[in-house]
Structure 1
Amino acid sequence: MTMKTSSSKEMMFLHGIRSLAIIWIVVCHSYTTFWQVPVFNAQYYFEWIKSISAMFILSGAMGVDTFFLMSSMLLTLSVFRELDKTSSTLNFCQEYWWTTLLYIGNHVNPGQLCFGHSWYLQVDMQLYFLSPIILYPLWRFRKYLKVMVPLILLVASSSVIYMYLIFYWNGFRVTLFDEQGLMRDQLTYYATQARIDSWMMGILTGYILYTLEGKIVKFSRSFLTVAWILCLIGILGVIIGQYPLHQENYTKNSIHADASYSAFRRISWCLSVSWIIIACHQNHGGIAKKFLSLSIWLPISKLSYCIYLIHLPIQLVFLSSHRVPQYFTDLRVLHNSLGDFGLALIVAFGWALMFEYPSIRLMKIFLERK
């Protein structure tokens, strides 16, 4: 294993990962919102849920975990670099609006969020506030790599244990047919403690990238081959692994199967994405890095936050406009997805110009004066 200097800190491939994640989320939500209207062919819908192709749509939630990973990874890099410098130098809204403003809605009345997808902002903010507890000791004792990495994995395992026990104790099932779906989502989807593994994997990735800044590590061809194969197995395992859990006879499956899949799917996904990031950063990404670094991803990536905020309200507006039952097909929903994403992209651009970019500029001015 050899190293050579690399001065570039720009990681263009992250734009591709971020763009694909938000597109996946929008498509997933196009399907889930479509299911909220009456359909003529309800039986086809239930058959579709049990298909292999449906697994790729239902796994769209992994796009959110990708955001958690990237958020904590970039936070880790930013904090460590600053420390280096320092050391060297609507009805529901009327009643529960305050829970959204205080970023606690995912714990206080989680079933009555002002916006269904606002839970992500609240979990992200809560983990952001807790991050210094992890980041400063990690930076302070950064030379002890062999000790710090197992500690990060130990903290991440708390989320794995939590997910397994919650599924096992409550008898939750992965399938959308589960009658306890609402309670399951409140305890295992919106809960902060359920996302610790994704967040910690981001911190671990950021920690590794920080230790490798200015260096390129040369791996053997056999190591890279095995690593990429394991990465693909991890990704496909998360997507396809849920297939037997969505079948009509799901009650015959052991509850341990549902609990195990739910406990390990996020950390497995994040480990795979982490490898993609590290490999691309170290110039071992090959065609994957070239694809993810295409300039076409840049505008989508820059607007991804606003797209996330805007897309679901747009989808719900169109959902509310239906006056007759719809006909469910993949082609129809994918067609809707393209329209949802295109309109969300346009509205997000205006939203960013009016709110996001001015806010970022004001914050920069404030921090520079300080």
Structure 2
Amino acid sequence: MKNLSRHLIIIFILFLVYLLNNSSVEESTIPDINNKYGIQNYKKCEKSGGSFCKFDFKITSCNQTLWKTIEESQKNRLKLDKSVIHRMLCVPKDNSPMIYGKLLMEKYANGTKFEVLQMDCVNQWNFTYKRIYWTIIGVYAFIIFWVTKYNNNSRFSFIKNAKKLLEDCPSKDFRSLKSIQGIRVLNTCLVIFWHTVLSLAQTYINDVAPLEKSFENPLFFYTMFLGGFAVQIFFLISSFLLTNQILEIQRQHGSFTLKHCCIIMLHRFCRLSPILLMTLASTTSGVYDFSPHTMDFRDKCLNTCQHYWWYAIFQINFLLPIDKICMPNLWYLSVDTLFYLTTVIIMYFILKNRFNIYKMLSGIIVFVITYFALYIYLNDYEFMFQPYPKAVTNMIYSKTMTHIYINPLSNYCGSLFGLILGAIYYDNKHHKRVFSKAQKLCWYFIFTCVPLLALHLSTYSYNNRAIKSFIGAVLKPLFVFPLGIGILGMAFGLGGLIKKLLESKVMVVLSNVTYGTYAFNFYVAFAKGILSEDVLHYEQHHLILWIIFDLVISFIIGTIFTISIEYPLVSLLKEYLPKIEKSKQKSKNYDIVSKDKYSEHNKC
């Protein structure tokens, strides 16, 4: 086993060296307008005292051959827009960047005319707290090392926390819902895949043709669209587990009070804070201060973090357009926290007033779908964000991303379905269920085929405004609800090989690090070119290599930060936070509340 591990490490190191050594080409010819990307030498520019600037040029006039290529690229949704090219140029001292860039391109481009769409020069940031940040990291790492070596029983022991990853939770709910752990892992892998492709589409590569060709592959094409649905599953799982937890509190204490609501939200906030603060500190400390590729991403993040960092701290990023969010991937955490809060509030009112949960939530779902359909119709928005090549290159500035993709309203049905399914699970989890063959086939069909139907529908264009609005409102619910039915079925013994795969030990262990992996994956995905000063050399097989690289490194980093930061600091915080104590009092059984054993699924 040790030899196998050693060989795997050696293979991965060789793979890493190969990937990095094949990641750059010689300095590109800037005026060659057949290349979508081009970069002048950054270090030479820095030594000469010039300004290094990024330009987005629009070709307004050119020869007939090039114009034909441009028109073909604009008509084909699987192609990048060839009328827009991107350059990183060194602007000499005392020159206007806007004028210089335009004149330089037109001077060597054989009569081609350009319009400057956007121009940003690399900022020289003064990272005031950089030394303090790395000093704190160094001191904390030393503490972890010292404690691990001399006091293995401490909550800061790396070995002790690493063993936690391998422990099985004794809760009956955890065992019943173990398939959720595998779904979390696969969903995180899907998100990493999406981020990898998004980063490649926005990285300066020497040839975009191989990337465009990838979109012609049906598996790649549908996986990209599947990535647009990934967060729906997270929202459903979060509400599912929280609903079960709240109903257990109600049964255990006889009531679900405002005090319980506050304690649940306080624990949620503190549970996410250590990793979140580490993410923000890394963003604002110049970790990307190495190459022109990463500096562009660094500048975007630092500009937004300076003004909107507190939105991330208090997890209210959903109030901002995506281009204003400090680390764009943090939008998901803020929306999930919002849904967490609404779940707590809804359950409080339902349990306090003894409403029928199914009738009330069904009414809310119908209202949300109707309202969102009208929202799309009245504003004439796209029905969803479709990750075609043209869209992913400018997604951070996309109106569809802000108003349709990250909009809490567009994602809310996933959370509401989690509420309903969590209540159904709670009401039936101690009743033995026997399913007929017809019921099993029906479950398999709903679980596997209906989400694929929703996925397929998402790839079409809808010109009729009413149809587009209707599809946009029902597509995400149509995708996520059958997956929730799948989770519910597996909790009661259905699933066969699928269930065994999702509940395997590897999946359960990896599920413990998905939060840290998700939080830091953006650093990994958008670090392409961090060792390069020119455009990246890219061929079609590099896509597979980059996906493997991002998956492995993201999970490694996620594991390290889970063990060294999340586990010890969350454990420390919990010691001082108010807790919901167990009680022997039991509530009356009504509607959805049945007499079962207290669940600690969410505590594991």
| Bin of the TM-score, shorter chain as denominator length | 0.7 to 0.9
Whole-angstrom CA distance in 1 between matches of 2:535 and 2:351: 57
Structure 1 residue 44: Cα displacement? 5.2
SS in 1 for 2:432: strand
Q: 1:72 aligned to 206, 231, 239, which one? A: 239
Structure 1 residue 360: Cα displacement? 2.7
Question: In the alignment, which residue of structure 2 is the partner of 1:8?
Answer: 172
Deviations 1:289-344 (A, max 9, x none): 11111111022100000000011112112255454444666532222111111111
Give the counterpart letter for 2:366 in structure 1: S
Structure 1 residue 158: Cα displacement? 3.6
Aligned CA distance change for structure 1 residues 162 and 346 (closer, same or farther; 3 Å) = same
Question: In the alignment, which residue of structure 2 is the partner of 1:273?
Answer: 483
Does the CA contact (< 8 Å) of 2:308 and 2:324 recur in 1?
A: yes
SS in 2 for 1:317: coil
* Structure number having the greater helix percentage: 1
Structure having greater relative contact order (Cα 8 Å, sep ≥ 6): 1
Q: 2:363 aligned to 147, 150, 154, which one? A: 154
Q: How many residues align?
A: 355
Q: 1:60 aligned to 227, 233, 242, which one? A: 227
Question: In the alignment, which residue of structure 2 is the partner of 1:25?
Answer: 191
Whole-angstrom CA distance in 2 between matches of 1:107 and 1:330: 38
Whole-angstrom CA distance in 2 between matches of 1:148 and 1:28: 36
Aligned CA distance change for structure 1 residues 319 and 260 (closer, same or farther; 3 Å) = farther
Structure 1 residue 47: Cα displacement? 5.4
2:518 matches 1:302: no
Structure 1 residue 213: Cα displacement? 2.2
Give the counterpart letter for 1:8 in structure 2: K
2:449 matches 1:240: no
Of 156-165 and 110-119, more deviation after overlay is shown by 156-165
Question: In the alignment, which residue of structure 2 is the partner of 1:106?
Answer: 318
2:415 matches 1:199: yes
Whole-angstrom CA distance in 1 between matches of 2:234 and 2:534: 36
Does the CA contact (< 8 Å) of 1:25 and 1:60 recur in 2?
A: yes
Does the CA contact (< 8 Å) of 1:33 and 1:319 recur in 2?
A: no
Whole-angstrom CA distance in 1 between matches of 2:430 and 2:338: 32
2:297 matches 1:130: no
Whole-angstrom CA distance in 2 between matches of 1:45 and 1:227: 38
Aligned CA distance change for structure 1 residues 238 and 359 (closer, same or farther; 3 Å) = farther
Whole-angstrom CA distance in 1 between matches of 2:409 and 2:312: 18
Q: Can you give the 5+ residue segments of structure 1 that lack an aligned partner in the other structure?
A: 1-6, 246-251
Of 171-180 and 95-104, more deviation after overlay is shown by 171-180
Of 48-57 and 110-119, more deviation after overlay is shown by 48-57
Does the CA contact (< 8 Å) of 2:255 and 2:351 recur in 1?
A: no
Give the counterpart letter for 1:283 in structure 2: G
Does the CA contact (< 8 Å) of 1:51 and 1:243 recur in 2?
A: no
Deviations 1:190-226 (A, max 9, x none): 2222221011111111111110121122232112212
2:376 matches 1:167: yes
Whole-angstrom CA distance in 2 between matches of 1:39 and 1:295: 39
Give the counterpart letter for 2:370 in structure 1: I
Structure 1 residue 34: Cα displacement? 0.7
Does the CA contact (< 8 Å) of 2:236 and 2:414 recur in 1?
A: yes
Aligned CA distance change for structure 1 residues 239 and 354 (closer, same or farther; 3 Å) = same
Deviations 1:79-125 (A, max 9, x none): 11122111189221011112222322221354211111101111111
Does the CA contact (< 8 Å) of 1:56 and 1:239 recur in 2?
A: no
Structure 1 residue 62: Cα displacement? 2.0
- The TM-score with structure 2 as length reference comes to 0.54
Does the CA contact (< 8 Å) of 2:454 and 2:479 recur in 1?
A: yes
Whole-angstrom CA distance in 2 between matches of 1:369 and 1:281: 26
Structure 1 residue 76: Cα displacement? 0.8
Question: In the alignment, which residue of structure 2 is the partner of 1:37?
Answer: 203
Whole-angstrom CA distance in 2 between matches of 1:29 and 1:42: 17
Give the counterpart letter for 1:286 in structure 2: G
2:544 matches 1:334: yes
Deviations 1:160-211 (A, max 9, x none): 3344334333242643446897111111222222221011111111111110
Question: In the alignment, which residue of structure 1 is the partner of 2:63?
Answer: none
Once the two structures are superposed, the pairs formed by residues 346-365 of structure 1 within 5 Å of their partners are 346-365=556-575
Once the two structures are superposed, the pairs formed by residues 204-243 of structure 1 within 5 Å of their partners are 204-243=420-459
Question: In the alignment, which residue of structure 2 is the partner of 1:248?
Answer: none
Q: Name which one, 1 or 2, has greater alpha-carbon Rg.
A: 2
Structure 1 residue 345: Cα displacement? 1.3
Percentage of matched positions with identical amino acids: 19
Q: 1:117 aligned to 329, 336, 349, which one? A: 329
Q: Can you give the 5+ residue segments of structure 2 that lack an aligned partner in the other structure?
A: 1-170, 257-301, 582-604
Question: In the alignment, which residue of structure 1 is the partner of 2:73?
Answer: none
Does the CA contact (< 8 Å) of 2:182 and 2:508 recur in 1?
A: yes
SS in 1 for 2:229: helix
Of 169-178 and 149-158, more deviation after overlay is shown by 169-178
Structure 1 residue 137: Cα displacement? 3.6
Does the CA contact (< 8 Å) of 2:443 and 2:486 recur in 1?
A: no
Of 179-188 and 201-210, more deviation after overlay is shown by 179-188
Of 191-200 and 55-64, more deviation after overlay is shown by 55-64
Whole-angstrom CA distance in 2 between matches of 1:154 and 1:107: 26
Structure 1 residue 369: Cα displacement? 10
Whole-angstrom CA distance in 1 between matches of 2:469 and 2:205: 32
Whole-angstrom CA distance in 2 between matches of 1:271 and 1:21: 16
Does the CA contact (< 8 Å) of 2:322 and 2:402 recur in 1?
A: yes
